[in-house]
Amino acid sequence: MLKSMTGFGRLEKQTGDLICKAELRSVNNRYLDINTRFPKSMMALEAALKKLIKSRCSRGSFDINISIESTNGNGGDQVIQPNLELATQYIKAFEQIKEHSGLKGEFDINSLLTVKDIVKVEPMAVDSSREELALQTVDEALSALIEMREEEGRNLQEDILQRLDAIEKRGEFIKSRQPQVIHNYKARLNERIRLLNDGGDVDPLRLAQETAIMADRCDVTEEVIRLESHIQQFRNLIAGNEPAGRKLEFLTQEINRETNTIGSKTIDSEVSQSVIEIKSDLEKIREQLQNIE
């Protein structure tokens, strides 16, 4: 079954006094690209979150937004820490200046707090409870996203299979048309030769030779057989459980290649029309495949 690369999932999950909100979006991409947006305090989870996405999706461009809050008001993602080492150095420097210059005065707390970097704002460490909550929330939001991708994939699959059926029927028509193409060519050739001979008899041996040469040049049996084979492989990949977008893109190119060869060989207007219709359906399939995982 085919899956789309377009999806969206959003989830809010609470454990104790912690609330985690996760929002995931995905669009088509030739490869797997994951972009994360969350507080600095959660940067340590980036590798684990990317691993989670990779374990369940093979293609697409993902945007992940996560936030964790606390219902007790202590859930900020930053903590304030005093820079005690720097403060000690400033106090020592003040005492040395005071002693050296003989000046009087006090270096109080208010003066100390005006010093740059004396108080540090640091990301809050991610404890096990926050990490587990974040991973669970993203995993469940990812499930919702995948469900949407599967639904969209079913719609795309239905359209692709309908077009594939149409291509197959036109291939069968081209195959069945070959004897009539040769017959029509032989009749036209016979008439031309007769006119050139002013209505005289046509040499049947020469007519048979010329017809045989043209029949060989216009024979598309091999191309039609390969076309049928590619279509069957296409269906097998769609019926499978593995991501098949890239392989289907390759098969579409191969079907197009065989169709082009048939078009270049044929001398029949009805076959040429079938070739045009096949290429039109192939173009629609190619567009749909751009969004298949």
Which CATH number applies to 7-75+127-149? 3.30.230.10
Structure token pair of residue 103: 């000046």
The domain spans of the chain are 7-75+127-149, 78-123, 151-289
Contact 28, 61 (CB under 8 A): yes
Domain 151-289, second-level architecture: Up-down Bundle (1.20)
Per-position pLDDT tens, the chain of length 293? 899 999 999 999 988 888 889 999 999 998 999 999 887 777 788 899 999 999 999 999 999 999 888 777 554 555 677 888 888 888 888 888 877 787 777 777 877 777 787 777 655 555 677 888 889 999 999 999 999 999 999 999 999 999 999 999 999 998 888 777 776 666 666 566 565 566 556 567 665 666 566 655 667 888 889 999 999 999 999 998 888 999 999 999 999 999 999 888 777 888 889 999 999 999 999 999 999 99
- In degrees and rounded to multiples of 5, residue 170 shows phi and psi of -70, -35
Contact 133, 21 (CB under 8 A): no
Burial annotation 46-84 (CB, 10 A radius, 16+ → b, else e):
eeebbebbeeebbbbbbebebbbbeeeeeeebeeeeeee
